[in-house]
Structure 1
């Protein structure tokens, strides 16, 4: 899908296996939360009608986002991938995720990058990734791709 230096399957697996293993610990949480809300608005004592709404995020979601930021998947130029594959909606993202092969693993990273980097500016984007199932689809696809040769250990 992308025009980059072509690495062998084993080289790609070696490059990304550690990062994928880090993210796999969130798979069961995403399976249970996918499609539901992972954020809320703080409405504690002393918050009046004239106060600014403060979002509160699930701590596991914040840990997941923090973990993604430590991986090689993060790419600030994700916009070019979105343009190339004409991705505008979550349905488009899910379609592309489903079509990706091991050689296209950077495309999966670019989709993750969109949610993480845009979420830094607008936190609601982090929750959207859980609600629309993109995070779950990404992790399931990464697991499938990494287990081509042998089961992934995490």
Structure 2
């Protein structure tokens, strides 16, 4: 059993889950006083469990912005980042995973996009490949 097995165990979840299954939007309702509430993502329990599991490991890179810059990648989630996942080393894989997890705070719904685009799935596959090399 590898160092990150508890996280890698989510591969089948991310392979099969749809964006609609992983997230719905709450709020956005008109209150009795005529004011509208702001909508917000409500994530599936398994997705939030995955995020919690990642935070229990050393997969989060506290310097992920610098790490992405080191590899010439933008801090914004982009196609460029998606293209390098399958060849990323452990340092870059951690930085990309961290960026997706932390940026949800500034870009609500990013995790749903990551599910739709299979980003978490691809990162976990890559992490498994890296562990298998050890």
Given the two structures, how large is their TM-score scaled by the length of structure 2? 0.80
The RMSD of aligned alpha carbons is: 2.4
CA-to-partner distance for each residue in 1:6-30, whole Å, 9 max, x for gaps? xxxxxxxx9xx32x20112211110
Counterpart residue number, 1:9: none
Whether 1:97 aligns to 2:85 is yes
Q: Which structure 2 residue ranges, 5 or more long, are not aligned?
A: none
Name the CA distance, whole Å, in 2 between partners of 1:116 and 1:63: 12
Question: Could you tell me which residue of structure 2 aligns to residue 11 of structure 1?
Answer: none
| Separation in structure 1 between the aligned mates of residue 47 and residue 83 of structure 2, nearest angstrom | 24
Q: Secondary structure at the match of 1:51?
A: coil
Task: Extract unaligned runs of 5+ from structure 1.
Answer: 1-13, 150-154
Corresponding residue of 1:27: 11
Shift of 1:121: 4.2
Q: Is the 8 A contact 2:8 2:127 kept in 1?
A: no
Poorly superposed stretches of 4+, deviation over 3 Å = 120-123
Note the 1:1-154 alignment, pairs <5 A. Answer: 17-18=2-3, 20-33=4-17, 36-37=19-20, 38-42=22-26, 47-48=29-30, 50-88=36-74, 89-100=77-88, 104-148=89-133
SS of the residue corresponding to residue 56 of structure 1 reads strand
How many residues align? The count is 127
Q: Secondary structure at the match of 2:56?
A: coil
Q: Do 1:74 and 1:109's aligned partners in 2 also have CA atoms closer than 8 Å?
A: yes
Partners of 2:62 and 2:69 in 1: CA distance: 14
The one-character-per-residue Cα deviations of 1:78-137 (angstroms, maximum 9, x if unpaired) are 11122222323432222221122xxx2111011111011122444422222212221111
